[in-house]
Homo-oligomer: A and B are copies of this chain.
Amino acid sequence: MSSPASDADALARFFAAGAREDDADHARLWAALQDASEGGKRVRPLLFTSAHTAMGGVHMQAAAEVAGALELLHTALVVHDDIIDGDDLRRGRPNVAGTFMAMAVREGAGLDRARRYGTAAGILAGDLALVGAVRMVAMCGAPPLLVRRLLDLLDDALHVTAAAELADVRLSLIGGALDGEAVRVSAGKTAAYSFRLPLQMAAVLAGADDHDTERLGRFGWLLGTAFQLRDDIQGVFGRSERTGKSSLSDLREGKETALIAHARTTDRWDRIAPYVGRPDVDETDLDAVRELLHESGTREFVETMAIGMAQRAADEIVGMPVESTLRVWLAAVTRDLRSAA
Protein backbone atom coordinates (compact mmCIF):
# COMPACT_ATOMS: atom_id res chain seq x y z
CA MET A 1 0.00 0.00 0.00
CA SER A 2 2.72 2.49 -0.86
CA SER A 3 1.45 5.86 -1.99
CA PRO A 4 1.75 6.27 -5.74
CA ALA A 5 2.71 9.73 -6.91
CA SER A 6 0.30 9.53 -9.78
CA ASP A 7 -2.98 10.70 -8.23
CA ALA A 8 -1.11 13.69 -6.84
CA ASP A 9 0.31 14.28 -10.32
CA ALA A 10 -3.15 14.10 -11.86
CA LEU A 11 -4.43 16.64 -9.35
CA ALA A 12 -1.44 18.91 -9.89
CA ARG A 13 -2.13 18.84 -13.65
CA PHE A 14 -5.79 19.56 -12.97
CA PHE A 15 -5.01 22.63 -10.89
CA ALA A 16 -2.36 23.88 -13.30
CA ALA A 17 -4.72 23.52 -16.27
CA GLY A 18 -7.56 25.30 -14.47
CA ALA A 19 -5.57 28.33 -13.31
CA ARG A 20 -6.52 31.75 -14.72
CA GLU A 21 -4.03 34.26 -13.49
CA ASP A 22 -5.74 37.15 -15.31
CA ASP A 23 -8.80 36.98 -13.03
CA ALA A 24 -8.09 37.86 -9.41
CA ASP A 25 -11.38 36.44 -8.08
CA HIS A 26 -10.79 33.16 -9.87
CA ALA A 27 -7.17 33.00 -8.74
CA ARG A 28 -8.19 33.39 -5.08
CA LEU A 29 -10.95 30.79 -5.41
CA TRP A 30 -8.69 28.34 -7.20
CA ALA A 31 -5.88 28.73 -4.69
CA ALA A 32 -8.27 28.13 -1.79
CA LEU A 33 -9.64 25.04 -3.52
CA GLN A 34 -6.20 23.63 -4.22
CA ASP A 35 -5.29 24.26 -0.61
CA ALA A 36 -8.42 22.39 0.49
CA SER A 37 -7.46 19.43 -1.70
CA GLU A 38 -4.07 19.04 -0.01
CA GLY A 39 -2.93 17.75 3.36
CA GLY A 40 -5.45 14.92 3.66
CA LYS A 41 -4.59 11.28 4.13
CA ARG A 42 -5.66 10.42 0.56
CA VAL A 43 -7.59 7.42 1.88
CA ARG A 44 -9.79 7.20 -1.23
CA PRO A 45 -7.02 7.28 -3.87
CA LEU A 46 -5.00 4.83 -1.77
CA LEU A 47 -7.90 2.40 -1.39
CA PHE A 48 -8.69 2.65 -5.10
CA THR A 49 -5.09 2.28 -6.22
CA SER A 50 -4.25 -0.60 -3.92
CA ALA A 51 -7.34 -2.53 -5.05
CA HIS A 52 -6.77 -1.72 -8.74
CA THR A 53 -3.18 -2.92 -8.54
CA ALA A 54 -4.09 -6.08 -6.59
CA MET A 55 -6.67 -6.94 -9.25
CA GLY A 56 -4.08 -6.67 -11.98
CA GLY A 57 -5.45 -3.47 -13.55
CA VAL A 58 -3.50 -2.30 -16.59
CA HIS A 59 -5.00 1.14 -17.39
CA MET A 60 -2.40 2.91 -15.27
CA GLN A 61 -2.83 6.43 -16.66
CA ALA A 62 -6.63 6.21 -16.36
CA ALA A 63 -6.20 4.85 -12.83
CA ALA A 64 -4.15 7.89 -11.85
CA GLU A 65 -6.88 10.18 -13.20
CA VAL A 66 -9.64 8.28 -11.38
CA ALA A 67 -7.62 8.31 -8.16
CA GLY A 68 -7.18 12.07 -8.48
CA ALA A 69 -10.89 12.44 -9.23
CA LEU A 70 -11.76 10.56 -6.03
CA GLU A 71 -9.69 12.97 -3.96
CA LEU A 72 -11.23 15.94 -5.75
CA LEU A 73 -14.72 14.57 -5.18
CA HIS A 74 -13.89 14.24 -1.49
CA THR A 75 -12.65 17.84 -1.46
CA ALA A 76 -15.87 19.06 -3.08
CA LEU A 77 -18.05 17.21 -0.59
CA VAL A 78 -16.02 18.37 2.39
CA VAL A 79 -16.10 22.01 1.25
CA HIS A 80 -19.88 21.88 0.80
CA ASP A 81 -20.37 19.88 4.00
CA ASP A 82 -18.56 22.61 5.93
CA ILE A 83 -21.00 25.19 4.53
CA ILE A 84 -23.92 23.00 5.53
CA ASP A 85 -22.52 22.57 9.04
CA GLY A 86 -21.51 26.23 9.35
CA ASP A 87 -17.85 25.29 10.00
CA ASP A 88 -15.10 27.78 9.15
CA LEU A 89 -12.23 25.49 10.12
CA ARG A 90 -10.93 22.18 8.83
CA ARG A 91 -8.01 20.41 10.47
CA GLY A 92 -7.57 23.48 12.67
CA ARG A 93 -7.05 25.88 9.77
CA PRO A 94 -9.51 28.17 7.96
CA ASN A 95 -11.33 26.22 5.24
CA VAL A 96 -12.44 27.81 1.94
CA ALA A 97 -15.33 29.69 3.57
CA GLY A 98 -13.15 30.69 6.53
CA THR A 99 -10.39 31.96 4.24
CA PHE A 100 -12.76 34.23 2.34
CA MET A 101 -14.49 35.36 5.53
CA ALA A 102 -11.13 36.46 6.91
CA MET A 103 -10.36 38.25 3.64
CA ALA A 104 -13.63 40.20 3.84
CA VAL A 105 -13.03 41.13 7.47
CA ARG A 106 -9.55 42.42 6.58
CA GLU A 107 -11.18 44.61 3.92
CA GLY A 108 -13.49 46.08 6.54
CA ALA A 109 -16.68 44.06 6.05
CA GLY A 110 -18.86 43.27 9.05
CA LEU A 111 -19.18 39.68 10.25
CA ASP A 112 -22.52 38.99 8.57
CA ARG A 113 -21.31 40.22 5.18
CA ALA A 114 -18.01 38.40 5.62
CA ARG A 115 -19.87 35.17 6.32
CA ARG A 116 -22.01 35.58 3.21
CA TYR A 117 -18.86 36.11 1.16
CA GLY A 118 -17.31 32.98 2.69
CA THR A 119 -20.46 30.96 1.97
CA ALA A 120 -20.44 32.09 -1.66
CA ALA A 121 -16.79 31.12 -2.06
CA GLY A 122 -17.34 27.71 -0.46
CA ILE A 123 -20.33 26.89 -2.65
CA LEU A 124 -18.54 28.00 -5.83
CA ALA A 125 -15.24 26.28 -5.01
CA GLY A 126 -17.08 23.05 -4.26
CA ASP A 127 -18.95 23.36 -7.54
CA LEU A 128 -15.72 23.65 -9.50
CA ALA A 129 -14.23 20.66 -7.68
CA LEU A 130 -17.35 18.57 -8.23
CA VAL A 131 -17.47 19.30 -11.95
CA GLY A 132 -13.71 18.77 -12.15
CA ALA A 133 -14.03 15.33 -10.56
CA VAL A 134 -16.71 14.17 -13.01
CA ARG A 135 -14.73 15.57 -15.91
CA MET A 136 -11.53 13.82 -14.82
CA VAL A 137 -13.37 10.50 -14.87
CA ALA A 138 -15.07 11.29 -18.19
CA MET A 139 -11.70 12.12 -19.76
CA CYS A 140 -9.55 9.53 -17.98
CA GLY A 141 -8.74 7.78 -21.22
CA ALA A 142 -10.11 4.32 -20.36
CA PRO A 143 -12.18 2.54 -23.04
CA PRO A 144 -15.56 4.32 -23.50
CA LEU A 145 -17.64 1.43 -22.14
CA LEU A 146 -15.62 1.41 -18.92
CA VAL A 147 -15.83 5.21 -18.63
CA ARG A 148 -19.60 4.98 -18.87
CA ARG A 149 -19.69 2.45 -16.03
CA LEU A 150 -17.31 4.58 -13.94
CA LEU A 151 -19.56 7.60 -14.43
CA ASP A 152 -22.61 5.55 -13.43
CA LEU A 153 -20.86 4.47 -10.24
CA LEU A 154 -19.81 8.03 -9.44
CA ASP A 155 -23.32 9.31 -10.02
CA ASP A 156 -24.84 6.59 -7.86
CA ALA A 157 -22.42 7.33 -5.01
CA LEU A 158 -23.27 11.02 -5.15
CA HIS A 159 -26.99 10.37 -4.96
CA VAL A 160 -26.57 8.13 -1.92
CA THR A 161 -24.24 10.66 -0.27
CA ALA A 162 -26.52 13.62 -0.90
CA ALA A 163 -29.57 11.80 0.47
CA ALA A 164 -27.62 10.68 3.55
CA GLU A 165 -26.29 14.19 4.18
CA LEU A 166 -29.76 15.62 3.93
CA ALA A 167 -31.08 12.95 6.30
CA ASP A 168 -28.22 13.71 8.69
CA VAL A 169 -29.12 17.41 8.77
CA ARG A 170 -32.80 16.52 9.19
CA LEU A 171 -32.06 14.24 12.15
CA SER A 172 -29.77 16.70 13.92
CA LEU A 173 -32.04 19.73 13.36
CA ILE A 174 -35.50 18.21 13.53
CA GLY A 175 -34.92 14.86 15.21
CA GLY A 176 -37.17 11.86 15.07
CA ALA A 177 -34.71 9.12 14.06
CA LEU A 178 -36.18 5.70 13.48
CA ASP A 179 -34.49 2.59 14.86
CA GLY A 180 -31.21 2.00 13.03
CA GLU A 181 -31.65 5.09 10.89
CA ALA A 182 -28.80 7.03 12.51
CA VAL A 183 -26.34 4.26 11.69
CA ARG A 184 -27.53 3.98 8.09
CA VAL A 185 -27.42 7.74 7.60
CA SER A 186 -24.07 8.18 9.23
CA ALA A 187 -22.60 5.33 7.18
CA GLY A 188 -24.27 6.51 3.98
CA LYS A 189 -22.54 9.87 4.26
CA THR A 190 -19.13 8.32 3.86
CA ALA A 191 -19.33 4.59 3.05
CA ALA A 192 -20.82 5.16 -0.41
CA TYR A 193 -18.29 7.57 -1.88
CA SER A 194 -15.25 6.92 0.33
CA PHE A 195 -15.21 3.11 0.41
CA ARG A 196 -17.71 1.48 -1.93
CA LEU A 197 -17.05 3.83 -4.86
CA PRO A 198 -13.22 3.50 -4.92
CA LEU A 199 -13.47 -0.29 -4.73
CA GLN A 200 -16.15 -0.59 -7.40
CA MET A 201 -14.27 1.79 -9.67
CA ALA A 202 -11.09 -0.24 -9.15
CA ALA A 203 -12.96 -3.43 -10.03
CA VAL A 204 -14.48 -1.94 -13.20
CA LEU A 205 -11.22 -0.42 -14.39
CA ALA A 206 -9.37 -3.68 -13.67
CA GLY A 207 -11.89 -5.57 -15.80
CA ALA A 208 -13.62 -7.49 -12.98
CA ASP A 209 -16.97 -9.06 -13.82
CA ASP A 210 -20.26 -7.86 -12.36
CA HIS A 211 -20.25 -10.52 -9.66
CA ASP A 212 -16.86 -9.50 -8.27
CA THR A 213 -17.68 -5.80 -8.65
CA GLU A 214 -20.78 -6.35 -6.53
CA ARG A 215 -18.84 -8.30 -3.92
CA LEU A 216 -16.36 -5.46 -3.64
CA GLY A 217 -19.22 -3.01 -3.44
CA ARG A 218 -20.71 -4.87 -0.46
CA PHE A 219 -17.26 -5.14 1.12
CA GLY A 220 -16.76 -1.39 0.69
CA TRP A 221 -20.10 -0.59 2.27
CA LEU A 222 -19.38 -2.79 5.31
CA LEU A 223 -15.83 -1.47 5.67
CA GLY A 224 -17.11 2.09 5.39
CA THR A 225 -19.83 1.49 7.96
CA ALA A 226 -17.34 -0.07 10.39
CA PHE A 227 -15.03 2.87 9.77
CA GLN A 228 -17.83 5.33 10.51
CA LEU A 229 -18.83 3.54 13.70
CA ARG A 230 -15.19 3.63 14.82
CA ASP A 231 -15.14 7.32 13.96
CA ASP A 232 -18.27 7.90 16.08
CA ILE A 233 -16.63 6.08 18.99
CA GLN A 234 -13.39 8.00 18.66
CA GLY A 235 -15.37 11.22 18.35
CA VAL A 236 -16.25 10.81 22.04
CA PHE A 237 -13.61 8.45 23.44
CA GLY A 238 -10.60 9.34 21.29
CA ARG A 239 -7.91 11.75 22.34
CA SER A 240 -8.00 15.02 20.40
CA GLU A 241 -4.30 15.00 19.57
CA ARG A 242 -4.77 11.67 17.84
CA THR A 243 -8.06 12.20 15.98
CA GLY A 244 -7.22 15.79 15.06
CA LYS A 245 -10.60 17.05 16.18
CA SER A 246 -11.98 17.94 19.56
CA SER A 247 -13.72 15.13 21.42
CA LEU A 248 -16.25 17.74 22.45
CA SER A 249 -17.46 18.74 19.00
CA ASP A 250 -19.79 15.79 18.29
CA LEU A 251 -21.49 16.33 21.65
CA ARG A 252 -21.69 20.09 21.31
CA GLU A 253 -23.20 19.80 17.83
CA GLY A 254 -25.74 17.27 19.05
CA LYS A 255 -24.65 14.95 16.25
CA GLU A 256 -26.93 11.95 15.90
CA THR A 257 -24.11 9.37 15.98
CA ALA A 258 -24.56 5.64 16.43
CA LEU A 259 -23.60 6.14 20.09
CA ILE A 260 -26.35 8.67 20.69
CA ALA A 261 -28.90 6.62 18.75
CA HIS A 262 -28.18 3.57 20.93
CA ALA A 263 -27.95 5.56 24.14
CA ARG A 264 -31.49 6.81 23.54
CA THR A 265 -32.75 3.25 23.93
CA THR A 266 -31.04 2.73 27.33
CA ASP A 267 -32.03 3.65 30.86
CA ARG A 268 -29.11 6.12 31.07
CA TRP A 269 -30.58 8.37 28.38
CA ASP A 270 -32.27 10.75 30.83
CA ARG A 271 -28.83 11.52 32.27
CA ILE A 272 -27.04 11.69 28.91
CA ALA A 273 -29.60 13.80 27.03
CA PRO A 274 -28.92 17.09 28.88
CA TYR A 275 -25.33 17.11 27.53
CA VAL A 276 -26.26 16.53 23.87
CA GLY A 277 -26.28 19.63 21.66
CA ARG A 278 -25.17 21.95 24.48
CA PRO A 279 -22.52 24.33 23.08
CA ASP A 280 -20.85 24.79 26.49
CA VAL A 281 -20.12 21.12 27.23
CA ASP A 282 -16.63 20.88 28.82
CA GLU A 283 -14.06 18.18 29.59
CA THR A 284 -15.69 17.33 32.93
CA ASP A 285 -19.04 16.88 31.21
CA LEU A 286 -17.33 14.74 28.57
CA ASP A 287 -15.96 12.41 31.26
CA ALA A 288 -19.44 12.07 32.73
CA VAL A 289 -20.89 11.23 29.30
CA ARG A 290 -18.13 8.68 28.65
CA GLU A 291 -18.90 6.98 31.96
CA LEU A 292 -22.63 6.90 31.20
CA LEU A 293 -22.00 5.45 27.73
CA HIS A 294 -19.98 2.71 29.41
CA GLU A 295 -22.58 1.92 32.05
CA SER A 296 -25.40 1.81 29.54
CA GLY A 297 -23.54 -0.71 27.40
CA THR A 298 -23.64 1.71 24.48
CA ARG A 299 -19.93 1.76 23.83
CA GLU A 300 -19.70 -2.02 23.84
CA PHE A 301 -22.78 -2.31 21.64
CA VAL A 302 -21.39 0.02 18.96
CA GLU A 303 -17.93 -1.55 19.07
CA THR A 304 -19.41 -5.01 18.70
CA MET A 305 -21.49 -3.79 15.78
CA ALA A 306 -18.40 -2.36 14.08
CA ILE A 307 -16.41 -5.55 14.58
CA GLY A 308 -19.36 -7.58 13.26
CA MET A 309 -19.43 -5.41 10.12
CA ALA A 310 -15.72 -5.91 9.61
CA GLN A 311 -16.14 -9.68 9.93
CA ARG A 312 -18.96 -9.74 7.38
CA ALA A 313 -16.76 -7.61 5.13
CA ALA A 314 -13.95 -10.16 5.41
CA ASP A 315 -16.34 -12.93 4.40
CA GLU A 316 -17.24 -11.07 1.19
CA ILE A 317 -13.74 -11.21 -0.25
CA VAL A 318 -12.64 -14.74 0.63
CA GLY A 319 -10.62 -16.20 -2.23
CA MET A 320 -10.44 -13.02 -4.29
CA PRO A 321 -6.99 -11.94 -5.51
CA VAL A 322 -7.56 -8.66 -3.72
CA GLU A 323 -8.23 -10.38 -0.37
CA SER A 324 -4.85 -9.87 1.30
CA THR A 325 -4.69 -6.22 0.26
CA LEU A 326 -8.13 -5.47 1.64
CA ARG A 327 -7.51 -7.39 4.85
CA VAL A 328 -4.88 -4.79 5.65
CA TRP A 329 -7.59 -2.11 5.42
CA LEU A 330 -9.94 -4.12 7.62
CA ALA A 331 -7.23 -4.67 10.20
CA ALA A 332 -6.57 -0.93 10.35
CA VAL A 333 -10.19 -0.33 11.31
CA THR A 334 -10.61 -3.14 13.84
CA ARG A 335 -7.19 -2.73 15.47
CA ASP A 336 -8.12 0.82 16.36
CA LEU A 337 -11.40 -0.42 17.77
CA ARG A 338 -9.80 -2.94 20.05
CA SER A 339 -7.14 -0.57 21.31
CA ALA A 340 -9.88 1.90 22.17
CA ALA A 341 -11.88 -0.80 24.01
Residues of A within 8 A of B (CB): 18, 20, 23, 25-26, 28-29, 76, 80, 83-84, 86, 104, 107-109, 113-114, 116-117, 119-121, 123-128, 130-132, 134-135, 138-139, 144, 147-148, 151, 154-155, 158-159, 162-167, 169-170, 173-174, 176
Of the candidates B124, B138, B158, B165, which one forms a contact with A166 in the assembled complex, judged by CB atoms under 8 Å apart? B124
Q: Would A128 and B26 count as touching, CB distance under 8 A?
A: no
Q: Would A26 and B113 count as touching, CB distance under 8 A?
A: no
Give the chain B neighbours of A25 by CB distance below 8 A.
Answer: 163-164, 166-167, 170
Q: Would B169 and A83 count as touching, CB distance under 8 A?
A: no
Q: Would B123 and A83 count as touching, CB distance under 8 A?
A: yes
Chain A contact surface mostly: helix
Q: Could you tell me the distance between the alpha carbons of A135 and B23 in the complex, rounded to whole angstroms?
A: 28
Q: Would A131 and B130 count as touching, CB distance under 8 A?
A: yes
Q: Would A127 and B174 count as touching, CB distance under 8 A?
A: no
Of the candidates B117, B123, B130, B163, which one forms a contact with A173 in the assembled complex, judged by CB atoms under 8 Å apart? B117
Q: Would A155 and B131 count as touching, CB distance under 8 A?
A: yes
Of the candidates B83, B84, B135, B165, which one forms a contact with A134 in the assembled complex, judged by CB atoms under 8 Å apart? B135
Give the chain B neighbours of A159 by CB distance below 8 A.
Answer: 18, 20, 26, 128
Q: Would B134 and A138 count as touching, CB distance under 8 A?
A: yes
